[in-house]
Each structure stands twice: as structure tokens, then as C-alpha cells.
């Protein structure tokens, strides 16, 4: 009798571990990973912005004054100087980095945006800002179709969200060169359906270099280095 009870324990343990794994997988697929914060580690992704707040911000982008952008930029997180130095290219041709100033610190409900929104027509090509590796292709409720790209040093992650689709053949583990087309601008996730744009963010990876963990840094500051 005791032998039968002992034989049941491993089976029960495997069953409960399987159930727990399925719950975690469902949660990630439905809600997406949390986005990395400037003051705390969370998975950005990604992308906890709401459709309402995004619509309000993107629709008012053209009328936002230079003075208000300058004030907001004062609150942006400055980098420590320990980040890798590299010449980056903008992810969307024609984007003016100067217009990104202050966007990082803009509020999205109760938290800062920690990214920049680059408006462009639907299906505009999105380019890799630097050489690197496609670490993760992820689809979430907030960010929609997203790409996590690691830089060559594995210290920075570039995050591209609200894509319409990936470039043909793009896959995890793929090496990409700066300028390669990796996706196309869209409105997936919680982006307003009538406001296609690229949600672009940069975060410094933790020592364990996990794609869903890191500290957000201001893309404007990174591109101005």
C-alpha cells in the first residue's frame, strides 16, 4: 500500500507543474510582459500604455509646443555614461530625432511613457537601428506585434511595437545588420486604429540579459550620444 502511495507522488508533482506552466504561458500571451521601468525592473514590453492615452498623445503631437517638450525632457532619465557607444540610425527613414525630446517622460496614466511614438503611414518599413540579434518575437495585448532586438554587446535591447507585421522570414536568433527591414508600421495591440505609429523604446539589460527585464533609457539621449 505504501509503495503505491509513493508511486503516485511523482505523477502528482508533474501534473501540478504542468498546470502552473500553462497558467503562466496564458498570462504572458494575454497581457504581455511588463515594460522595463527607469526606476524598477518590469517587463515593457512593454507596453502598458492604453489606447485612450496613446490616441490623446499622438493626435496632439503636432500641436505640442517646444517649450512643453523641453520641460518634460528635464525629467527624462539620463544615462550613466556606461552604455555602449555606437552610431545608430533612426528606425523609420525621415524621422527627426529632435522631435523625440521629452516624449520619454510624458505621462501615460499613472506612469511615464518611457518610449517614443514615431508616426508614419501604415506599412512603412521599420529598420534595425544597429547590428544585433533578434532575441524575441512577441505578440501581446498591449504592444501587439513586437520585436526585441539585442545590440552586439548584449547590454542594450531595442523594442519595436504596434507593428503591422514582421519582415518576411524574420525569426528569433536571427542576426540583423543596421538598416535591415525587420517589420512594418501598424496599429496592432492597443494603438489607435486610425493612428499607425512605431512605439520605440530602449532599455539596458540586467546582468542575466533576459529580454523581458531591464531599465528603460531615453531613446533621445541614446541617439544624441
CB atoms within 10 A of CB 151: 20
Q: Is the pLDDT of residue 92 over 50?
A: yes
Per the model's pLDDT, the better-predicted residue between 120 and 76 turns out to be 120
Q: Is the pLDDT of residue 205 over 90?
A: yes
The reply to whether the predicted model has a pTM over 0.75 is: no
Per-residue pLDDT, averaged over 202-214, amounts to 92
The listed range with the strongest mean pLDDT (52-61, 109-118, 134-143) is 134-143
CATH 2.40.30.10 fits 34-224, yes or no: no
Q: Is the pLDDT of residue 49 over 50?
A: no
- In this structure, are residues 88 and 129 in contact, taking their beta carbons and an 8 Å threshold? yes
Q: Is the pLDDT of residue 73 over 50?
A: no
> To which residue does cell 555614461 refer?
81
For position 225, what pLDDT does the model report? 74
Per-residue pLDDT, averaged over 95-123, amounts to 92
Using CA of residue 58, residue 121, residue 98, residue 138, what is the dihedral sign?
positive
Residue 84: is it exposed, middle or buried by C-beta count within 10 angstroms (0-12/13-18/19+)? middle
DSSP label of 167: P
> To which residue does cell 523641453 refer?
70
Residue 79: is it exposed, middle or buried by C-beta count within 10 angstroms (0-12/13-18/19+)? middle
DSSP label of 140: E
> How would residue 112 be classed by pLDDT, with cut points 50, 70 and 90?
confident
Amino acid at each position: 500500500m505504501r509503495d503505491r502511495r509513493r508511486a503516485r507522488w511523482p505523477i502528482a508533482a508533474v501534473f501540478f507543474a504542468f498546470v502552473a506552466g500553462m497558467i503562466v504561458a496564458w498570462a504572458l500571451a494575454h497581457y504581455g510582459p511588463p515594460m522595463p521601468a527607469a526606476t524598477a525592473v518590469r517587463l515593457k514590453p512593454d507596453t502598458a500604455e492604453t489606447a485612450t492615452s496613446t490616441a490623446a498623445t499622438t493626435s496632439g503631437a503636432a500641436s505640442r509646443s517646444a517649450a512643453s517638450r523641453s520641460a518634460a525632457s528635464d525629467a527624462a532619465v539620463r544615462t550613466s555614461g556606461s552604455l555602449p557607444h555606437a552610431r545608430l540610425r533612426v528606425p523609420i527613414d525621415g524621422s527627426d530625432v529632435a522631435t523625440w525630446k521629452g516624449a520619454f517622460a510624458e505621462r501615460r496614466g499613472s506612469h511615464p511613457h518611457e518610449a517614443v511614438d514615431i508616426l508614419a503611414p501604415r506599412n512603412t518599413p521599420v529598420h534595425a537601428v544597429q547590428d544585433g540579434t533578434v532575441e524575441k518575437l512577441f505578440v501581446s495585448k498591449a504592444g501587439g506585434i513586437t520585436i526585441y532586438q539585442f545590440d552586439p554587446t548584449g547590454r542594450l535591447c531595442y523594442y519595436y511595437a504596434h507593428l503591422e507585421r514582421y519582415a518576411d522570414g524574420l525569426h528569433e536568433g536571427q542576426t540583423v545588420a543596421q538598416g535591415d527591414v525587420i517589420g512594418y508600421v501598424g496599429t496592432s495591440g492597443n494603438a489607435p486604429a486610425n493612428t499607425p505609429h512605431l512605439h520605440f523604446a530602449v532599455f539596458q539589460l540586467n546582468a542575466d540579459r533576459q529580454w523581458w527585464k531591464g531599465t528603460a533609457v531615453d531613446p533621445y539621449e541614446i541617439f544624441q550620444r
